[in-house]
Amino acid sequence: MVLRHGRDNEMDYPWLDEGFTTFTEIRYMKWRFPEDSLRSYLNFFGRLFHFKGGYGDFTKPWLYYLMDCAEEPLVGKKAYELKSYFFAIYMKGSLVLNALKDLMGEEKFNDLMKEYVRKFKFRHPVPQDFVRLAVERDSSLKYFFDFWLHEKEFPDFYCKRDKGRLKIGETHGRKLPVKISVDDSTFVALLPVEIEGKRGKVDPENVVVEKREWNNLIPRKVKFNPNVVFPDMEATNLWALPFGLYDRFNGWKPGIYFGAIYKPIYFHNEPVGSTSTIVGDMILLRGIALDSGIAGILLSGILSDTLNLTLSTTTEKDRMVAKNLARIAGVDQENYGMELLKSGTSLDGLSIDRILMRGFKQYKFGDMKIGLSQIFIFSFDEIKKRESQLKKRMSEMLKEGNFYLLAFLATNPIERQSFLIAVGNTEVIERVFDVKLKDGKAILKNIMSRKKDFLPLLGEELMRGMGSY
């Protein structure tokens, strides 16, 4: 029996043998047996290869394999030349067909498989025979197979924002067909591609890529956050997804894998008040000549991020670099900083929504969702004039977004204090900052940075209430 099995194996193109068999076997077992039986069957592989993570999760051990830089192309090597037959043929071979099924759709994929069997049963096909049948149906699939069959490096996708449009492509210029869903419509496009929301104008600074674990190997959901766009913008969710990932709760899901990085990269991190401080310091230390314009841009970044070096996040390095940049730019740092801040703190012509959304961020502590907005202003009079409108809109947002607490800080860098308006479970603010809110408002002295002065204390109190401290 063993000899017969070995004799019948496809040695030149093992993907057409073991990969197709694994894919078909799993599909059959899922159709033929109840889910509990399928779970027991697939968990066998996890126990056999000592990988945890749920039934059918062939992807997880394959990801370990990828991170070890050991992936091999599906075609081009004979069975006995492969370093890891299981990963390269059984696992990746099955994943390719799942990815193809997700991309083509169930009906078209089934038609392709039936034609392949009809044309090549009892014959000796090669991978190109299967590829040709697929490409005849969709020419963009050529790029799909070029990657999946012949390359071994994981793709590195980029997602760029440009004036409300989202640009998605592959860093190395690979053309790959991807399945994309915008609002309620789904279509297949060939990378690179540009996408924009159907309704309203998207604020490009608030189109975010949600980070996941696995060092970028797990899909990232690209989303337009409805809480941080213009008021007439409806919720828009976008997925740009080239392959399938098996999830033990949801089955096969398409997903864009923002590629893993196998080579070490240079990373520099410092707890300073501004990224411009790090860049400026690097330039100055290396003796690179700076013209006054570039020095002025870097200085503006530092002074803007640190509120003219007054925020509690400001460090001695920020002050030192700012002083040197001001000298090169030929400006007085103190006066220039004040002019810069005044030009950016005017509320003239801004709607209530634009004021609230100007620096709006969401945070989660367990099941509690917090919304926090902060603006900088040189007089509280402008805020007090619109106080009732701000509180009314915040109360609406509290219900719409199911927030535990919404807080708005108008911070005066000269007086070193913040005017607070809060709705929701405001008693936690009273406990943390030892203040009594009157009609949902209060003055918080020496609260300048929400990242350092406000949010950490609030978060500790909320987590303590959950028993996490």
pLDDT tens-digit series, residues 242-272: 333 333 334 334 333 333 344 456 678 888 9
| CB burial of residue 67 (10 Å; 0-12, 13-18, 19+) | middle
Residue range of the domain that includes 233: 157-255
Above 50 in pLDDT, residue 400? yes
Residues 114 and 219 in one domain: no
Token reading at 253 = 């899901």
> Are residues 14 and 135 both part of a single domain?
yes
E strand or H helix at 89:
none
Most confidently predicted of 373-377, 403-407, 452-456: 403-407
**pLDDT band per the 50, 70, 90 thresholds, residue 120:** confident
Nearest alpha-carbon partner for 359 in 371, 382, 344, 375: 375
Amino acid at 216: N
Query: What is the pairing mode between strands 368-376 and 405-412?
Result: parallel
CATH number, domain containing residue 430: 3.10.310.20
Residue 316 in domain: yes
Q: State residue 35's pLDDT score.
A: 55
CATH number at residue 297: 3.90.1640.10
Among 223, 255, 287, the domain boundary falls at 255
Q: Which of 124, 150, 176 is the last residue of a domain?
A: 150
Strands (E), 164-312: 165-170, 177-182, 185-190, 193-196, 207-209, 222-224, 236-241, 243-247, 251-255
Within a domain: residue 318? yes
User: Within 13 A of 285's CA, how many CA atoms are on the CB side?
Assistant: 9
Q: What is the pLDDT of residue 148?
A: 75
**Average pLDDT estimate for 36-55:** 42
Residues 241 and 325 in one domain: no
Residues 240 and 316 in one domain: no
> Which pair of structure tokens corresponds to residue 226?
């409805």
Check whether 58 has a pLDDT greater than 80.
no
Q: Which of 176, 195, 189 is nearest to 237 (CA)?
A: 195
Within a domain: residue 268? no
Do 99 and 119 belong to one domain? yes
Minimum mean pLDDT range among 143-147, 231-235, 305-309: 231-235
Across 111-115, 160-164, 345-349, 425-429, least confident range: 160-164
Are 116 and 21 within one domain? yes
Q: Are residues 443 and 317 in the same domain?
A: no
Longest dimension (CA), the chain: 89
pLDDT at 33: 63
At residue 109 the predicted structure's pLDDT band, cuts being 50, 70 and 90, is very high
pLDDT tens for each residue of 123-158: 878 888 898 999 898 887 887 787 777 765 555 566
Residue 58 main-chain phi, psi, to 5 deg: -60, -20
Same domain, yes or no, for 16 and 143? yes
**Cis omega (within 30 of 0) on the bond before 192?**
yes
Are 146 and 161 members of one domain? Answer: no
Q: 370 with 398: CB under 8 angstroms?
A: no
Pair (397, 413) in one structural domain: yes
The residue from 344, 372, 402 where one domain ends is: 344
pLDDT, residue 419, reads 92
pLDDT of residue 275: 92
> Which residue pairs, CB below 8 angstroms and at least 24 apart, start in 449-455?
449/311, 449/312, 449/313, 450/361, 450/372, 450/374, 450/409, 451/313, 452/311, 452/312, 452/313, 453/312, 454/372, 454/407, 454/409, 454/418, 455/363, 455/372
Residue 161 lies in a domain: yes
Could you tell me which of 314, 301, 374, 385 has the C-alpha nearest to residue 341?
301
Helix (H, G, I), strand (E, B) or coil at 307: coil
* Number of domains present in the structure of the chain: 4
Instruction: Mark 13-52 as b/e (b = at least 16 C-beta within 10 Å).
Output: bbbbbbbbebbeebeeebeeeeeeebeebbbebbeeeebe
- Quickly tell me which residue has 């929400």 as its tokens: 450
Q: Is residue 125 part of a domain?
A: yes
Which pair of structure tokens corresponds to residue 209?
Answer: 């890529």
Position 69 in a domain: yes
CATH code for the domain of 6: 1.10.390.10
267 within a domain of the structure (yes/no) = no
pLDDT of residue 182: 58
User: Is 280 a domain residue?
Assistant: yes
Same-domain check for residues 180 and 226:
yes
pTM over 0.75: no
Tokens of 254: 């398409």
173 and 131 in a common domain: no
